[in-house]
A and B are shown apart, each in its own frame.
Chain A
Amino acid sequence: MKKILSLLLALVPTATFLPAQITSSTFGMMEARHLGPGTMSGRITDIKGVESDGGKTIYIGTAGGGIWKTTNAGASFKPIFDKYVQSIGAIAVDQKNPKILYVGTGESNMRNSVSIGDGMYKSTDGGDNWTKIGLDSTEHISKIIVDPANSSVIYVTAPGALWSDSKHRGLYKSTDAGKTWEKILFISEKAGVADVEIDPGNSNILYATSWEFRRYPYAFNSGGSGSGIYKSTDAGKTWKELTNGLPKKPFGRVAIALAPSAPQNLWAIVESENTGLYISSDAGETWKQQSATSNIVSRPFYFSTLEVDPKDPKRVYRPATGFSYSSDGGYSFADASNDGGWVHSDMHALWINPANTNLMYVGTDGGVYFSLDRGATWKFCNNLPVGQFYHVSADTQEPYRIYGGLQDNGSWVAPSAFPGGVLNGNWQAIMGGDGFWVQPDATDPDFAYAEYQGGNMSRINIKKGTSVFIQPQAAAGDEKLRYNWNTPIVTGSKNIANLYAGAQYLYKSTDHGASWTKISPDLTTNDKRKQEQEKSGGLSMDVTSAENHCTIFTISESPLDENMVWVGTDDGNLQFTTDAGKTWTNVAANYATAGIPKQTWVSSIEPSKYDKNTVYATFDNHMYGDHQTYIAVSNDMGKTWMKFESKEFTGFAHKIKEDVVNKNLLFAGTEMGLFASVDGGKEWFRMKNNIPWYSLVRDIKIQEETNDLLLATHGRGIIIVENISPMRTITPEVANNDVVLLNDKPVTLTMGKYSGQFPNASGDWNGGVSSVITPIQYYMKERANTIQMEVYDKNGKLLQKLSPSNRKGYNKVVWNQRIAPPKTAKGGNQVEMAAFSAPQVLPGDYVIKMKVNGKEYSQTIKLLHDEKNKEFTIQDRELQYKTGMELYEMNERLAKLVDSINVTQTLLKKNIDSASNKKTKTLLQDYWNKLEEFRLTLVPPMMKGTGDLKRLRSDISEVYGAVVGQEARPSNLQLQRAEVLKTELAKAEQKNEELKQQFEKKVMEAIAKEKMKKAEVKRTKDK
């Protein structure tokens, strides 16, 4: 007992002396930039609006990008769910208290790439704050209904787990606004509940559809005896199955809808041997099949949306592959036109504004569209950056370009930076279909490799817009080639001219895909039981290459040796060659001994650039119902493996990335977050620096020229963390210091990029402006209470006071590399640029002095001229500085001159008012008038309205602003102009002197006389 107590006591002091911990907040100031784009968006899963505000407030649920809220009917959106699981299944607004929201996480469009959720969330303040309210293990939620008659009653449908049996599925009900839940309809561990409807006139009447379904890594099945349609007339206490007029069982997925204005009318799309549209006009008691177009019955497992106009019971909407609408109660349908622009196919959500039923919003696999004419035509919302990238690559141009492929949205290229920010128009589509790997050809910047699903790959000439199909074909004696949905096409890390592609065999090309060599045998398990894809789908055939299996999934050439290539397959093999493919070694059995399940997808392999024996890999076992994070390292070329462990990890692993400078810095991307380690994988932390905490991070790259970290997210587009070098330098040892200035690397002087382009009128997503000037950087162990920073030249002259941030961890503050702006002459209300402009300093050493909580720190920072800039030589810079400083001083001289005029005028004014002698008054007024006339040649007057008046101040400001504001040698005329203005300034100073000569003595005498007179009068009075 005593021992325990002393142990406990010992625990206390150690806790206070722990070394500084490096966590996400250490690097919180490295805020990520969201490049988007908004030009192609991502899969939308639900849309719900607030009825009482006329439809201005709308919530958009996405497949992997959280929830976005608009309060202006779609003019702008903001994300409101960035701290939680990003896959959204369903949203409900309590229309009686519209600040109350319910969200079910885990999308239910059960395609191969669907993500999962972790239950229900509730907000009581319109999405600002969220509370988790249960159903944690449901994985997928498809619909939430708040009983219109009683806000405490909530129904939630959980189709449940996709990859495994589960008892956490069915229809759930809460009668206490989400505090507790009761399962009120349960079919089996294989069948959940997919859809529910409530009779708005009688809340006791409910309709629900159950669904039996299952995915395997190599097959999908929709349908089974567990699927059916049920009705309850006692608010879910008892249920009866509806069958009269419905097709023969088994069913697959069933979408059901009722007409809110005439709720005895029901529609159901029933997946079965005879999939069709069924209509009931007697509250489900009897049904009749109605002929339907292919769009009505297309892919029922994927398209389960069916909506009826809130007011018009004849107006029925079926968003599916395309958008169909009926005006006669579902007996005939028409399809939307593309007159408002192409509408992305594959639709999953529709919200009709009840206040104006002409206005509706549809959610597709490529974002949100709105219609003003009941769905006949549509306009795209180009400001939702929820694209679902699979991979990201970058080239080495300046600015570097970003390449990536997206789920259902093709393959794209964009510059990483653009003056004013990267906009939708900066993105260039280079291939259609589903996009995956897009690789720049590092040997020729005009070319890139891209593909669509199932390994259909091409070499693209980006400049010319041409493409050549280069997919490796089966040779005599080969088995039929098996290409993964997301087939790897990868260029060499050691030899950039190498190009690899994988089916079950590995192919290599050294001539840009014009010819290929098969450099491996079948590297997969070639398990024939996993290759019956043509039977996939269940009741409806669904063969899309999404289930292709026993394929190569990842390929990596060692950055140290081009003959060493690692390959991972989707059925668990991890193989490598050290002789460019002559021989192969399979190390699958070795990783399994480290606690990683066999037959997982080997999702990424990262051969180290520091040691040929070291290799990192990630393993994804979620298709067997196991969502754990498997990330491991081997230091003996795959013989033994060590699994990384961290309490922080969530989500199955997609990618491990080793830093290119610091071998202890690692990044890992999973289905639920980006993680980093600064100690070689011992400790990990979740990165939250403006990155949604549970982002689906599919791929990670480091662009080596800029040190930018690039993330391919499956739901938030491309995310860039600019310049990760602080993560390299702030090692655990460095972090133990109170304050560290981190500016030991020379910095190149720059003025940045022009930003005077025309405003972005289209309101599309702006990918943010990349930082151009290298900031002053420092680390602080604790948040500072007081902090000051000043920049001095090497002679100790103060140049500028800065506004440094005081946060714990890494900090940065931008010094614009200039001195402080000059004092400019006062007067009028015309704003002159000179007051905000200052010459850029010359190359050389400058001293940063920082005072943190009273203690001083300093560091010398070296600024360099950009020798690469041929348009601006060091001689140009020196002349610019000299001219700039001359004009700077002219600004200050003029300010002094005007100040002196102002002082004199104030004095005159005072005495004019008090003067009793008329002659004195006239004299003073005369001087004041002369000064005023003169002053108004120097500065503009106070103006009403808009004015751009040319006076000496504005003339100096104009040429000064131009000279100091650009990286250029001052032009001949700018130099002449500066001289002319200098002469004018001297003349003005001269003129002031003249006026002084003319008036000062006389005026002073007159004022003195007045004073004497006043004193005399006072004396007389006093007597």
Chain B
Amino acid sequence: MKKAKFLSFLIAAFFSLSFVKAQTADEIAAKYVDAIGGAENWKKVNSMVQTGSMSVQGADVSVVRTVLHNKGSRQDISLMGMNGYTIITTTEGWNFMPFQGQTAPEAMTADDLKESQDELDAQGSLLDYKAKGHSVELLGKEDVDGTDCYKLKLTLKSGRVETMFIDAKTFLLVKVITVRKANGQEMEFATTFSNYQKLPEGIIIPMSISVPLGPGFSADFSVTKVEVNKAIDESIFKPAK
């Protein structure tokens, strides 16, 4: 009887030591940064150009995402020979979506621009997040599509809130839920990440980014080329005349 009690105590201690070690939000953020290649490598990233494609009902849509750290970001979409883009800089933002009938670029509202400022961070929000004015809070663990994840609430300096689900084993990001406010409404976007690959620069990034549209359907952005620290002509952050 005594032995049995001791055994159960020992087992409990064993499990608590190895599996239930409390993690803080800070530790998880740090482990995440390590998992994606480490702070040192990421701090060297000044620009990133990701080229890839999306499939919409079998039709190919090509997408190029360019970020120049803290200066500008631009996303180009081309479909059926039409080219559209979204530009964000520290002072202005533009949208041009000819497939939606737009004939000229439209300036973003001040609110949208403010909400989008964090997209200029080419190094990722969790790197030096405190210095950037963001905050994180650990909301516990949650199962995401069968994967045990840490649930981290990231409140960005801009006020935008992202809920990050970080794989408890690999510390890679599995899913993000972003709440965006626009014109007095709140909208939720879920994005999932996979196909993590290491680049020559030592950083690790997801080459598949998927926005679920419903069971069995999703919009998938698959990255075919990543260029890090390529010289970026800042004139691309102005809308074409």
What is the CA–CA distance of A808 and B146 in the complex, to the nearest angstrom? 5
Q: Contact at A785–B196, with CB atoms within 8 Å?
A: yes
Interface residues of A in 806-850 (CB under 8 A from B): 806-809, 812-814, 816, 818-821, 824, 826-827, 829, 831-832, 835-836, 838
Q: Contact at B215–A812, with CB atoms within 8 Å?
A: yes
Of the listed residues A11, A803, A806, A945, the one surrounded by the most CB atoms of chain B closer than 10 A to its CB is A803
Q: Contact at A807–B216, with CB atoms within 8 Å?
A: no
Knowing A26-B146, A814-B217, A829-B82 are in contact, say whether A836-B57 is a contact too (CB < 8 A). yes
Please report the total number of A residues contacting B with Cβ < 8 Å.
53
What is the CA–CA distance of A807 and B98 in the complex, to the nearest angstrom? 35
What is the CA–CA distance of A808 and B217 in the complex, to the nearest angstrom? 17
B55 and chain A: residue at smallest CB distance: A803
Q: Which of B4-12, B86-94, B106-114, B115-123 contacts A (4 or more CB under 8 A)?
A: B4-12
Interface residues of B in 144-170 (CB under 8 A from A): 145-147, 153, 163
* Number of chain B interface residues as a range: 35 or more
B189 within 8 A of A: no
Q: Contact at A816–B57, with CB atoms within 8 Å?
A: yes
Query: CB < 8 Å: which of B145, B153, B186, B215 contacts A25?
Result: B145
Interface residues of A in 916-959 (CB under 8 A from B): 942-946
Q: Contact at A28–B194, with CB atoms within 8 Å?
A: no
What is the CA–CA distance of A945 and B185 in the complex, to the nearest angstrom? 28
Kindly list chain B residues whose C-beta atoms are within 8 Å of the C-beta of A835: 59, 79-80
Q: 1/0 per residue A1-41: CB within 8 Å of B?
A: 00010011001000000000001011011110000000000
What is the CA–CA distance of A783 and B145 in the complex, to the nearest angstrom? 8
A722 and chain B: residue at smallest CB distance: B215
Q: How far is the CB of A789 from chain B (nearest CB, A)?
A: 11
A129 within 8 A of B: yes
Q: Contact at A11–B216, with CB atoms within 8 Å?
A: no
Q: Contact at B195–A829, with CB atoms within 8 Å?
A: no
Q: Contact at A787–B194, with CB atoms within 8 Å?
A: yes
B227 within 8 A of A: no
Knowing A26-B146, A785-B195, A813-B216 are in contact, say whether A829-B103 is a contact too (CB < 8 A). yes
Q: Contact at B146–A783, with CB atoms within 8 Å?
A: yes
Q: Contact at A801–B55, with CB atoms within 8 Å?
A: yes
What is the CA–CA distance of A1022 and B59 in the complex, to the nearest angstrom? 52
B200 within 8 A of A: no
Of the listed residues B6, B185, B196, B218, the one surrounded by the most CB atoms of chain A closer than 10 A to its CB is B218
Q: How far is the CB of B175 from chain A (nearest CB, A)?
A: 10
Q: How far is the CB of A957 from chain B (nearest CB, A)?
A: 11
Query: CB < 8 Å: which of A11, A26, A775, A816 contacts B58?
Result: A816
A942 and chain B: residue at smallest CB distance: B103
B208 within 8 A of A: yes
Q: Contact at B81–A826, with CB atoms within 8 Å?
A: yes
What is the CA–CA distance of A997 and B187 in the complex, to the nearest angstrom? 58
What is the CA–CA distance of A805 and B79 in the complex, to the nearest angstrom? 24
B220 within 8 A of A: yes
Q: How far is the CB of A601 from chain B (nearest CB, A)?
A: 34
Q: Contact at A806–B194, with CB atoms within 8 Å?
A: yes
Q: Contact at A71–B194, with CB atoms within 8 Å?
A: no
Q: How far is the CB of B36 from chain A (nearest CB, A)?
A: 14
Q: How far is the CB of B201 from chain A (nearest CB, A)?
A: 20
Q: Contact at B11–A29, with CB atoms within 8 Å?
A: no
Kindly list chain A residues whose C-beta atoms are within 8 Å of the C-beta of B103: 829, 942-945
Q: Contact at A786–B186, with CB atoms within 8 Å?
A: no
Kindly list chain A residues whose C-beta atoms are within 8 Å of the C-beta of B139: 129
Q: Contact at A7–B55, with CB atoms within 8 Å?
A: no
Interface residues of B in 56-91 (CB under 8 A from A): 56-59, 79-82
Q: How far is the CB of B1 from chain A (nearest CB, A)?
A: 14
Q: Contact at B194–A785, with CB atoms within 8 Å?
A: yes
Query: CB < 8 Å: which of B7, B58, B208, B215 contacts A836?
Result: B58
A286 within 8 A of B: no
Q: How far is the CB of B189 from chain A (nearest CB, A)?
A: 14
Q: Contact at B10–A803, with CB atoms within 8 Å?
A: no
Q: How far is the CB of B141 from chain A (nearest CB, A)?
A: 13
Q: Contact at A783–B147, with CB atoms within 8 Å?
A: yes
Q: 1/0 per residue B1-45: CB within 8 Å of A?
A: 001001100110010000000000000000000000000000000
Number of CB contacts from chain A to chain B under 8 A: 107
A786 and chain B: residue at smallest CB distance: B195
Kindly list chain A residues whose C-beta atoms are within 8 Å of the C-beta of B194: 783-787, 806
A800 within 8 A of B: yes
A771 within 8 A of B: yes
What is the CA–CA distance of A328 and B215 in the complex, to the nearest angstrom? 56
Kindly list chain A residues whose C-beta atoms are within 8 Å of the C-beta of B215: 29-31, 771, 812
Kindly list chain B residues whose C-beta atoms are within 8 Å of the C-beta of A803: 55, 210, 218-220
Of the listed residues B7, B98, B207, B215, the one surrounded by the most CB atoms of chain A closer than 10 A to its CB is B215
Q: Contact at A771–B57, with CB atoms within 8 Å?
A: no
Knowing A11-B11, A826-B80 are in contact, say whether A800-B58 is a contact too (CB < 8 A). yes
Interface residues of A in 401-439 (CB under 8 A from B): none
A76 and chain B: residue at smallest CB distance: B185
Query: CB < 8 Å: which of B11, B196, B210 contacts A8?
Result: B11
A72 and chain B: residue at smallest CB distance: B185
Kindly list chain B residues whose C-beta atoms are within 8 Å of the C-beta of A8: 10-11, 14
Q: How far is the CB of B32 from chain A (nearest CB, A)?
A: 16
B188 and chain A: residue at smallest CB distance: A78
Q: Contact at B55–A808, with CB atoms within 8 Å?
A: no
Kindly list chain B residues whose C-beta atoms are within 8 Å of the C-beta of A786: 194-195, 207-208
What is the CA–CA distance of A524 and B209 in the complex, to the nearest angstrom? 62
Q: Contact at B218–A824, with CB atoms within 8 Å?
A: no
Knowing A784-B194, A785-B196, A944-B103 are in contact, say whether A25-B58 is a contact too (CB < 8 A). no
Q: Contact at A829–B10, with CB atoms within 8 Å?
A: no
Q: Contact at B7–A4, with CB atoms within 8 Å?
A: yes
What is the CA–CA distance of A801 and B81 in the complex, to the nearest angstrom? 21
Kindly list chain B residues whose C-beta atoms are within 8 Å of the C-beta of A819: 58
What is the CA–CA distance of A31 and B190 in the complex, to the nearest angstrom? 16
What is the CA–CA distance of A898 and B197 in the complex, to the nearest angstrom? 39
What is the CA–CA distance of A129 and B80 in the complex, to the nearest angstrom? 43
Q: How far is the CB of A465 from chain B (nearest CB, A)?
A: 37
Kindly list chain A residues whose C-beta atoms are within 8 Å of the C-beta of B210: 803, 805
Knowing A71-B186, A827-B81 are in contact, say whether A812-B216 is a contact too (CB < 8 A). yes
Q: Contact at B146–A946, with CB atoms within 8 Å?
A: no
Knowing A783-B145, A785-B194, A835-B80 are in contact, say whether A771-B216 is a contact too (CB < 8 A). yes
Kindly list chain A residues whose C-beta atoms are within 8 Å of the C-beta of B6: 4
Kindly list chain B residues whose C-beta atoms are within 8 Å of the C-beta of A800: 58
What is the CA–CA distance of A386 and B106 in the complex, to the nearest angstrom? 42
Kindly list chain B residues whose C-beta atoms are within 8 Å of the C-beta of A820: 58-59
Q: How far is the CB of A16 from chain B (nearest CB, A)?
A: 12
Interface residues of A in 758-815 (CB under 8 A from B): 771, 775, 783-787, 800-801, 803, 805-809, 812-814
What is the CA–CA distance of A945 and B10 in the complex, to the nearest angstrom? 75
What is the CA–CA distance of A23 and B215 in the complex, to the nearest angstrom? 19
Q: How far is the CB of A864 from chain B (nearest CB, A)?
A: 20
Kindly list chain B residues whose C-beta atoms are within 8 Å of the C-beta of A945: 103
Q: Contact at B80–A824, with CB atoms within 8 Å?
A: yes
What is the CA–CA distance of A806 and B207 in the complex, to the nearest angstrom? 13
What is the CA–CA distance of A607 and B139 in the complex, to the nearest angstrom? 45
Q: How far is the CB of B240 from chain A (nearest CB, A)?
A: 13
Q: How far is the CB of A139 from chain B (nearest CB, A)?
A: 26
Query: CB < 8 Å: which of B101, B147, B153 contacts A946?
Result: B101
Which are the 8 A-B pairs with shortest beta-carbon distances?
A826-B81, A808-B146, A807-B145, A25-B146, A803-B220, A814-B216, A786-B195, A820-B58
Interface contacts beyond A814-B217, A827-B81: sample of 14 additional A-B pairs, CB < 8 Å, sorted by A: A4-B10, A25-B143, A28-B145, A783-B146, A783-B174, A785-B196, A786-B195, A803-B220, A808-B145, A809-B146, A812-B216, A829-B82, A829-B99, A838-B58
Q: What would be 11 A-B contacts, judged by CB atoms less than 8 Å apart? A: A4-B6, A784-B194, A786-B195, A786-B207, A803-B219, A812-B216, A813-B216, A829-B101, A829-B103, A835-B59, A942-B103
Which residues on A are within 8 Å of B, measured CB to CB? 4, 7-8, 11, 23, 25-26, 28-31, 71-72, 125, 128-129, 771, 775, 783-787, 800-801, 803, 805-809, 812-814, 816, 818-821, 824, 826-827, 829, 831-832, 835-836, 838, 942-946
